Amino acid sequence: MTENIHIENSNWRLRKGQIIAARQMTATEKWFDIKLEDGDLDHEPGQFVQVELYGVGEAPISVCSSPTKRGSFELTVRAAGRLTKHMHSLGKGDWLGIRGPFGKPFPVKLMTGNDLLFVAGGLGIAPLRSLINYVMDNRREFGKVDILLGCKTPTDMLFGDEIKAWQKRLDVNFSCTVDRTAPDWKGNVGLITSLIPGVTINPEKTFGVVVGPPIMYKFVIAELLKKNLPERQIILSLERHMKCGMGKCGHCQIDHPKNYYCCKDGPTFTYEEVKESKKL
């Protein structure tokens, strides 16, 4: 108990992080590699940090690098509002405040030894990438791996170079689709749900991990259920507007009889846990 209190408190400590690399990925997303002044972040796949910019505010951002990468950690930030737009003006050498890591990570231990089906829509690839790269670095510990990725247009695709490397791997099945095509696009066109019927799933030993925009969940989950994937083996990462980030203010409450708070009970949940939510 004492140890838990210590861990929680130490995570709330504001730590200084320096941007050691940054790259504009698309018109709206920027990638940052951040080194903490006092050591590693020590996160688990699926966790997030609170980024603090002095005089601007704080926002939760998922860690998009795997914990197997040591020395620094990565964030992908969409310019959505005050803090994230300000972050886009930062670059190599700039400093920011970091609290965390926070939140319930993906259940990696439970997934070990099983097949994995990753379904990422848009910016959902950011939190999922922390898990995908963890699995790539520990590939022998997992069974078959399928990655399905959907984006609005080919120019919205994040981590293009890494995706090319996943496509080349013989131990990974990768499929991608775009909502709207472009002249040089030779891949699939259509919603991400159109890729699911083509995947072979052994429901007894597969975990489906789904991260994307809110509209995506309902339809992807319906396709996974059609494949007889048990509800407890469908893992989601949910996003809600947060204020305190520590289970006190109620801002991130999920409309569910159990009144889950996204910040402390999530952001990862099984479908079984949250299926009664009307917003799924």
Ligand X SMILES: Cc1cc2nc3c(=O)[nH]c(=O)nc-3n(C[C@H](O)[C@H](O)[C@H](O)COP(=O)(O)OP(=O)(O)OC[C@H]3O[C@@H](n4cnc5c(N)ncnc54)[C@H](O)[C@@H]3O)c2cc1C
Q: Which residues bind ligand FES (CB under 6 A)?
A: 242-245, 247-252, 261, 263
Under 8 Å between Cβ of 167 and 141? no
In the complex with ligand FES, the residue whose CB is nearer, 149 or 252, is 252
Residue 245 interacts with, from ligand X, ligand FES, none (CB under 5-8 Å by kind): ligand FES
Residue 31 interacts with, from ligand FES, ligand X, none (CB under 5-8 Å by kind): none
In the complex with ligand X, the residue whose CB is nearer, 43 or 78, is 78
Q: Which of 11, 50, 84, 268 binds ligand X (CB under 6 A)?
A: 84
Q: Which of 15, 43, 99, 240 binds ligand X (CB under 6 A)?
A: 240
Verify binding: residue 267, ligand X, rule CB under 6 A: yes
* Dist. CA 221–CA 62, nearest whole Å: 22
| Tokens, residue 35 | 């080194």
DSSP assignment of 2-61? HHHHHHHHHHHS-EEEEEEEEEE-SSSEEEEEEEETTS-----TT-EEEEEETTTEEEEE
In the complex with ligand X, the residue whose CB is nearer, 33 or 223, is 33
Position with the least CB separation from ligand X: 81
Residue 131 interacts with, from ligand FES, ligand X, none (CB under 5-8 Å by kind): none
- CA 226 and chain centroid, separation: 24
| Minimum CB distance to ligand FES, residue 240 (Å) | 7
Residue 230 interacts with, from ligand X, ligand FES, none (CB under 5-8 Å by kind): none
- Report the relative pairing of strands 188-189 and 173-178 from DSSP bridges: parallel
Under 8 Å between Cβ of 21 and 92? yes
In the complex with ligand FES, the residue whose CB is nearer, 221 or 263, is 263
Q: Identify the residue whose tokens are 């305190």.
A: 244
DSSP assignment of 107-135? -HHHHTTSEEEEEEEGGGHHHHHHHHHHH
The residues that touch ligand X, with contacts defined as CB under 6 A, are: 48, 57, 59-62, 76-78, 80-84, 123, 126, 239-242, 267
